Chains A and B, each alone.
Chain A
Amino acid sequence: MAYTLPELPYAYDALEPSIDARTMEIHHTKHHNAYITKANAALEGTDLASKPIEDVISDLSAVPADKRGAVRNNGGGHANHSLFWTVMGPGKGGAPSGELAAAIDAACGSFDKFKEEFSNAAATRFGSGWAWLYVADGKLKVGSTANQDNPLMGEAVAGIAGTPILGLDVWEHAYYLHYQNRRPDYVSAFFDVVDWDAVAERFAAAK
Chain B
Amino acid sequence: MSTLTEPTLSDLLAILDEVWGSFLSSPEPLLPASDDGMNHGTSAAVTITGDWRGIVVVETSRPVAEEVTRRMLMLDAVTPDDVADAMGELVNIVGGQVKSLTGGQSTLSLPIVASGHLVQPSEARELCRADLVWIGEPVRVTVLSVRTP
Q: Do A and B come from one complex?
A: no
